[in-house]
Structure 1
Amino acid sequence: MNKFICIFSLLIAYVNATALTFTLQPSAKSCFYIFTTEPKSKIGYYFAVQAGGSFDIDYSIKAPDGKYIVQEEKKRQGDWIFNAETAGEYEFCFSNEMSTFAEKVVDFEVKLDDDFKASLPDAPTENIAVEGMQRSIKNIEDKLASLQNTLHYYKTRNNRNQSTVRSTEGRIFWFSIFDVILMCSMAVLQVLVVKFFFQGSRKQLV
């Protein structure tokens, strides 16, 4: 069974988030790795199947100790945040092994703890202005996250609708070709039947 592994490591000191779109071939598996040096960090991910087959895929998340955090089958998309209890390398795998002919186009994004909150110093209790600023920044972060999720949703819906339209157009085209061939075949058959009928009548008259 054809398998391939795509690997990248994200060092938390340098890179805190990544987003990519990749194509997963039939009967193939792709794995991505993210490395965190801090325990109890938050890791968030988003994925959506943009095109191919029934827009579903199998995926799993494995902790550094080899235990599975998530294992799900035939999912169209996912958006989740979980606590990385131990520091180390976390494995995100996507599998298209259930499909024998349809390739899948997948959007994938993973984030680390620094992407979920602003790195501001703790505000003194008497400094109301700094506290208000932190609340405003948190509110902006929440609204941006909501907007990003909405954009992901509309992008996925748009891609899937376009794929459905292309599939419908293809079916209509081939059905039209089949219909034309069928009508031509029926016309030829009718001509041959009529010709054979009149030839048989002439022989009887002679």
Structure 2
Amino acid sequence: MEKSKSFLLLCIICAFCLIIFPKSLEGTSLTYNVAANERACFYAWADKPGEKVAFYFAVQTGGSFDIDYIVTDPRGKHVISGDRERQGDYVFTANYVGEYSFCFSNDMSTFAEKLVDFEISIENEPRAELPPSKGITPDQTSSMEESCLRLSSSLSTVSRTQKYFRTRENRNFSTVKSTENRIFWFAILESAVIVGMAAVQVFVIKTFFNTTKRGHV
């Protein structure tokens, strides 16, 4: 019973510390419609060397669901880049203080717009120490910290999985919508061809009988 009370008290202390001493994290989650032949850039600032930069993107709709991207550091050097990628999930270390640019290019498309869902986050998370508490041993504290870290990793995995399924759902919906439009216009064209052929047949038959009557006369 005493262990359960100590564990519950430790959970309360951890939650309190997370609220009072939040981790240093800056993030941006956006959805942007990249027009044809457009180059769109977004920026994030790293305050000090060694910060972790997470970059995630996924093309939701448009064309073949692919886009060119490039990440540049404050010196103008390329950190990561790719051509005709559908989605990406990268983490790299910001070795220099300054502004990092994240650019999407839709130069390969002449008319198709690309809807891109992306997220940029810069994180520098020092491991906080819990204040000492009566009845809680250092081993229990360490075990609780490891459990919290595993839980955080699991939640991050769940979040990535949800984004993946969201991307698949949007792409499948776009494919179904495109297929429906193609079937609709094909049916319209087929109906127009049938009507046109019927009109031609009527005209040919009418012309044939008119010629026959004139021959008998």
Which category describes the TM-score, using the shorter chain as reference length? 0.7 to 0.9
For residues 95 and 122 of structure 1, what CA distance do their matches in structure 2 show? 46
- Using the aligned pairs only, state the percent identity: 42
User: Is 1:35 the counterpart of 2:52 in the alignment?
Assistant: no
**Corresponding letter in the other structure for 1:182:** V
191, 194, 202: which is aligned to 1:183? 194
Aligned to 1:121: 129
Q: Does structure 2 retain, via aligned residues, the 8 Å contact 1:123–1:130?
A: no
User: Is 1:23 the counterpart of 2:23 in the alignment?
Assistant: no
Gapped regions of structure 1 (runs ≥ 5): 1-12
Q: TM-score, normalized by length of structure 2?
A: 0.83
Q: Which has the higher contact order (CA 8 A, sep 6+)?
A: 2
For residues 106 and 47 of structure 2, what CA distance do their matches in structure 1 show? 31
Q: Which protein has the larger Cα radius of gyration, Structure 1 or Structure 2?
A: 2
1:48, distance to aligned residue in structure 2 (A): 0.4
For residues 112 and 101 of structure 2, what CA distance do their matches in structure 1 show? 24
RMSD: 1.9
Displaced runs of 4+ in structure 1, greater than 6 A? none
Decide whether aligned partners of structure 1 residues 113 and 15 sit closer, same or farther in structure 2, where only a CA change above 3 A counts: closer
Paired residues in the alignment total 191
User: Is 1:159 the counterpart of 2:170 in the alignment?
Assistant: yes
Aligned to 1:74: 84
Aligned to 2:204: 193
Higher helix share goes to which structure? 2
Decide whether aligned partners of structure 1 residues 43 and 122 sit closer, same or farther in structure 2, where only a CA change above 3 A counts: farther
The secondary structure found in structure 1 opposite 2:75 is coil
Deviations 1:94-119, CA, capped at 9 Å, x for gaps: 111111101111101011224xx574
Aligned to 1:3: none
For residues 146 and 14 of structure 1, what CA distance do their matches in structure 2 show? 20
1:141, distance to aligned residue in structure 2 (A): 1.0
User: Is 1:54 the counterpart of 2:64 in the alignment?
Assistant: yes
Deviations 1:153-174, CA, capped at 9 Å, x for gaps: 0000000001001100100110
1:14, distance to aligned residue in structure 2 (A): 7.8
Q: Does structure 1 retain, via aligned residues, the 8 Å contact 2:60–2:171?
A: yes
Gapped regions of structure 2 (runs ≥ 5): 1-22
Aligned to 1:138: 149
Instruction: Pick which of 147-156 and 81-90 moved more.
Output: 81-90
Aligned to 1:10: none
1:195, distance to aligned residue in structure 2 (A): 0.7
Q: TM-score, normalized by length of structure 1?
A: 0.88
Q: Does structure 2 retain, via aligned residues, the 8 Å contact 1:123–1:131?
A: no
The secondary structure found in structure 2 opposite 1:154 is helix
